[in-house]
Amino acid sequence: MTQTQPRKKNLFQINVDLMHGPIFRSLVLFMLPILISNLFQQLYNTVDTMIVGNVLGDTALAAIGSCGAIYELLVGFGLGIGNGLAIVAARAYGAQDEDLLKRTVAGSLVIGLVASLTITTAGFFGLRPLLELLDTPAEILEDAYRYIIIIDLGVIVMFAYNLCAGLLRAIGNSVMPLVFLLLSSALNVVLDLWFIAGMGMGVAGAAVATVLAQGVSVVLCVLYVCKKVRILLPAKHHFRVGSHLYWELFSQSISMGLMSSIVSAGSVILQYGINGLGTLVIAGHSAARKLFSVTDMPVMAMASAGSTFVSQNRGANHPDRVRKGMRDIYLYSVVVAVCAVLLMQVGAEGMVRLVSGSSEPVVLENGARYLRWNAPFYSVLGVLIATRYALQSLGQKVLPLFSSVIEFVGKILFVLFFIPRFQYNAVILCEPLIWCVMAAYLVAVYRHDAFVFGTARTRQTGQKNAV
Confidence of residue 463 (pLDDT cuts 50, 70, 90): low
User: Dihedrals φ, ψ of 96, to 5°?
Assistant: 55, 40
The pLDDT of residue 467 is 46
Size of the chain, expressed as the number of residues it contains: 467
Lowest mean pLDDT: which of 64-68, 364-368, 425-429?
Answer: 64-68
Confidence of residue 66 (pLDDT cuts 50, 70, 90): low
Task: State yes or no: pLDDT of 340 exceeds 70.
Answer: yes
Task: State yes or no: pLDDT of 447 exceeds 50.
Answer: yes
Relative orientation angle of helices 58-66 and 203-228, to the nearest 10 degrees? 60
pLDDT tens, position by position, 298-315: 999 999 999 999 999 999
Task: State yes or no: pLDDT of 12 exceeds 70.
Answer: no
Task: State yes or no: pLDDT of 243 exceeds 50.
Answer: yes
Sequence-ordered list of residues with C-beta below 8 angstroms from that of 369, at least 6 positions apart, any chain? 424, 428
Which of 291, 465, 466, 459 shows the shortest CA–CA distance to 393?
Answer: 466
CATH (one of 1.20.81, 1.10.357, 2.60.40, 1.10.287) for 26-241:
1.10.357
pLDDT tens, position by position, 273-301: 777 777 778 778 778 887 888 889 999 99
Dist. CA 60–CA 52, nearest whole Å: 7
Helix, strand, or coil (residue 3) = strand
Lowest mean pLDDT: which of 128-142, 149-163, 248-262, 443-457?
Answer: 128-142
Confidence of residue 327 (pLDDT cuts 50, 70, 90): very high
The pLDDT of residue 457 is 53
Task: State yes or no: pLDDT of 7 exceeds 60.
Answer: no
The pLDDT of residue 208 is 92
Average pLDDT over residues 138-166: 87
Dist. CA 98–CA 100, nearest whole Å: 5
Answer whether 364's CB lies under 8 Å from 349's CB. Answer: yes
The pLDDT of residue 462 is 52
The pLDDT of residue 39 is 86
Lowest mean pLDDT: which of 250-264, 339-353, 380-394, 430-444?
Answer: 250-264
The percent of residues above 70 in pLDDT, for the chain, comes to: 92
Sequence-ordered list of residues with C-beta below 8 angstroms from that of 44, at least 6 positions apart, any chain? 185, 188, 189
Task: Please report, for residues 4, 8, 106, 171, 412, the alpha-carbon distance to residue 316 in angstroms, rounded to integers and kept in the order given.
Answer: 12, 20, 21, 13, 41
pLDDT tens, position by position, 341-377: 999 999 899 888 887 777 888 888 988 999 999 999 9
| β partners of residue 97 | 3
The pLDDT of residue 144 is 84
| β partners of residue 3 | 97
Segments of the chain assigned to CATH 1.10.357:
26-241
The pLDDT of residue 459 is 52
Task: State yes or no: pLDDT of 133 exceeds 60.
Answer: yes
Lowest mean pLDDT: which of 47-56, 73-82, 108-117, 208-217?
Answer: 47-56
Confidence of residue 263 (pLDDT cuts 50, 70, 90): confident
Dist. CA 300–CA 304, nearest whole Å: 6
- Which stretches of 57-137 are DSSP H helices? 58-66, 68-94, 98-133
Which of 253, 57, 74, 270 shows the shortest CA–CA distance to 167?
Answer: 253
Average pLDDT over residues 32-39: 90
Which of 307, 283, 281, 290 shows the shortest CA–CA distance to 425?
Answer: 281
The pLDDT of residue 11 is 35
Task: State yes or no: pLDDT of 214 exceeds 50.
Answer: yes
Answer whether 101's CB lies under 8 Å from 89's CB. Answer: yes
Lowest mean pLDDT: which of 138-147, 310-319, 429-438?
Answer: 138-147
Task: State yes or no: pLDDT of 42 exceeds 50.
Answer: yes
**Of 59 and 306, the one with more pLDDT:** 306
